[in-house]
Amino acid sequence: MAQDATTYSLELRDLRKSFGKTEIIRGANLAVKAGERVAIIGPNGAGKSTLFNLISGRFAPTSGEVLLHGQRIDGKKPFEINRMGLSRSFQITNIFPNLSVFENLRCGVLWSMGYKYTFLRFLSGLHDANERAQQLMEMIKLEKKRDTLAVNLTYAEQRALEIGITIAGGASCILLDEPTAGMSRSETARFIHLIKEVTEGRTLLTVEHDMGVVFGLADKIAVVVYGEVIAFDTPENVRANQRVQEAYLGSAIADAQAEGH
């Protein structure tokens, strides 16, 4: 690896995390270039969500480093990391239930537009924030539900809103944790299309179980098993990787192959 660290958007260096005596992440290494779309796959319990939590600052790592655009973010608080350009969505839909769709999105843009903790200006007068929220709403195709309370949306709509909030702040590195969980086939296909559109040009990491999604969306796949990244390569190479086929459900990859991806 003779490349300069600063060309990587996100880097994990020998990341480790133990909860009590159990080591969940045992030395994970990853280097993602700017604009790359990476799918993180692996058996259940391999530590994928934990990785996300470590990167986004929900937990601090026991040891090792996480670098965002060459700067260390391990041990920082979530809001600090977010301000540095990383945003994430959650496996269980995490939106603001008592605010309307529009309000949800507007909240997402406020900090990045510099409005901070001000209480001396009215939201209705913040034209740039309102326009951006409107744009986002159209991007995720929820303009018709502008004033609906988020808690009254359908599941798929809520997931779309979640994505909307995640990209609202203009983060350059987006983490999506199982974005299509619980969706039907057709919903998933539409959703993937949406994700591709809205994350155009940004670095994307998603945790996914649906191999069809993975092969359709990702430039690179990172395979996580027992808290380590055992492979990080293009989908074709990963498919052919012996170690991966052993460790992971080989049948899942074979099925996807049979489907002609």
Interaction site with other proteins (CB under 8 A): 56, 77-79, 82-83, 87-88, 90, 94-99, 103, 106-108, 110-112, 115-124, 126, 144, 147-149, 151-152, 165-166, 168-169
Min dist. Cβ of residue 181 to other proteins (A) = 17
Q: Are strands 63-68 and 71-72 parallel, antiparallel or unpaired?
A: antiparallel
Min dist. Cβ of residue 139 to other proteins (A) = 17
239: three-class secondary structure by DSSP: helix
Min dist. Cβ of residue 11 to other proteins (A) = 20
Closer Cβ to other proteins, 171 or 229, answer by number: 171
Beta bridge partners of 228: 225
Closer Cβ to other proteins, 8 or 90, answer by number: 90
34: three-class secondary structure by DSSP: coil
Closer Cβ to other proteins, 61 or 85, answer by number: 85
Min dist. Cβ of residue 5 to other proteins (A) = 25
Nearest to 203 by CA among 3, 37, 90: 37
Please list the helix, strand and coil fractions of the chain in percent, rounded to the nearest 5, in that order.
40, 25, 35
- The DSSP-derived string for 50-76 is HHHHHHHTSS--SEEEEEETTEE-TT-
Q: In Å, how far are 71, 202, 221, 231 from 28, measured between CA atoms?
A: 18, 23, 14, 11
Min dist. Cβ of residue 171 to other proteins (A) = 9
Min dist. Cβ of residue 189 to other proteins (A) = 24
Closer Cβ to other proteins, 84 or 189, answer by number: 84
Query: In angstroms, rounded to a whole number, what is the distance separating the alpha carbons of residues 14 and 9?
Result: 17
- The CA R_g of the chain, rounded to the nearest whole Å, is 19
Closer Cβ to other proteins, 53 or 241, answer by number: 53
In Å, how far from its chain's centre is CA 209?
Answer: 14
Closer Cβ to other proteins, 110 or 137, answer by number: 110
